[in-house]
Amino acid sequence: MKSSRLADFGLQPVSNRFLTKGDDIEAPRFPLSLNIREDIGLIFIDKPFPIEELKPRYNWLTCFEPEDHLDDLVVNILKLPNVTQNSSFGAYSFKDDSTLRRLEKLGYGNTWRIDPEKDLGVSDECANVETYQFFLNKESAERIKEKNGLADVFIVRHVVEHSYDLQGFIEFVKSLVKPGGYIVWELPDCERALINGDCTTIWEEHVYYFTEYTFVSVISEYNLEIVHFESVPYALENSLIVIAKVSDKKTAIEPSRTAVDLEINRAKEFVKHVSERKLLIRRKLETLREKYGQIAIFGAGHLTVAFISIMEISDLIHFVIDDNPNKKGLNMPLGKLEILGSESLYEKNIKVCLLGLNPQNQSKVIDKHKKFVENGGIFGSIFPHSQYDLDNIL
């Protein structure tokens, strides 16, 4: 499949590599370039970071996936033809536990999930989905099938976008499902971020940047017949949900030239928008620093890392705020930016604070720090087109 270069973001840090204060070492950095499949318009990282480097170094690091829609998702799963209380519900990772618990609560108790240690041989407590894929092969699939049997329904939430071998991953999942059974895929919908030129959608742990069209196009290549599709709205990014039936017939979709051109043009506009915003953000922050003094950013996660690094503004940010006790006192993976608690807003007399945490939590931070606003402080979101977008507020 022919692909071409879409963008080169240069060296980017591993965003989960927090550093101890006083460390002489720096977080590892690797080249990050985006390519695009010319046949369907799918965006992907050209050379993914080494998996061993992505593995978290701290066991307290967590990931949160959107779950407000899960009750409705379970209802849709249970409406599928031939799904009964005797059906077997399998799942890929810990991200699927909350869905399995919902099924069990409704009386569908034949559930199982891949055990990283027993089924894949992954015993490192820090290892996550980035590491599991090392061990997806015929041997591990046979062990899982022998232990659990084939699933009538198999759930895979927020994993496929991490895959280094997309074909191998899809085939592995298919091998755990009965003929005529279903795979429930859930993944980030990148369309809005691409339209808005939101650079924070670029994350070294996400190899693929799917939209509705590109994901449907991809899985149709593997004899998966789509029986349910929706994009569930969320503040940060929508969740694509695709339920596909394992079919014995060819399901590949003939590419639509109009649809592919739309994907490619949107991708190119995204790169252009990010480049333009990079200049505007620097000018704005330079003006704000000159007028108000030190600038802080709230949220010590990968969204903040992407914004600071891709926008190249670490020299304009003085410190990062996060009340997670595990992060306080550490340094960010770039610019040796110190992570302080929210009390630093007042102690350091900050007047401008960018919001780099998930947009659905930004109102909570503003409400909690009304005193900061009353004292003349200004919050501005790093996410374009959010209600607190710094382009509109600052």
Is-contact 367 340, C-beta < 8 A? Answer: no
The pLDDT, as a whole number, for residue 35 is 98
The pLDDT, as a whole number, for residue 23 is 76
Single-letter amino acid code for the residue at 37: R
Mean pLDDT in order along the chain per 10 residues (394 residues): 95 96 86 97 97 92 91 98 97 97 98 96 90 92 96 98 97 97 98 97 98 96 94 95 92 87 98 96 95 97 98 97 96 94 96 95 95 95 90 73
The pLDDT, as a whole number, for residue 393 is 67
Is-contact 264 7, C-beta < 8 A? Answer: no
Handedness of CA 323, 325, 330, 333 (dihedral sign): negative
The pLDDT, as a whole number, for residue 253 is 81
Measured CA to CA, the distance from residue 187 to residue 62 in angstroms comes to 18
pLDDT, tens digit, 9 for 90 and up, residues 33-89: 999 999 999 999 999 999 999 999 999 988 889 999 999 999 999 999 999 999 999
The DSSP result for 273-341, as a single string, is: HHHHHHHHHHHHHHHHHHHH--EEEE--SHHHHHHHHHHT-GGG--EEE---TTTTTEE-SSTTPBEE-
Could you tell me what percentage of the chain is helix, strand and coil, using 3-state DSSP and rounding each to the nearest 5? 40, 25, 40
312 class by beta-carbon count within 10 Å (0-12 exposed, 13-18 middle, 19+ buried): middle
The pLDDT, as a whole number, for residue 350 is 96
Measured CA to CA, the distance from residue 238 to residue 282 in angstroms comes to 28
- Full-model pTM: 0.95
pLDDT, tens digit, 9 for 90 and up, residues 258-289: 999 999 999 999 999 999 999 999 999 999 99
Single-letter amino acid code for the residue at 25: I
The pLDDT, as a whole number, for residue 394 is 66
Is-contact 83 183, C-beta < 8 A? Answer: no
The pLDDT, as a whole number, for residue 153 is 98
Give the sheet arrangement for strand 89-91, strand by strand. 111-113, 89-91, 151-157, 177-189, 238-246, 224-232
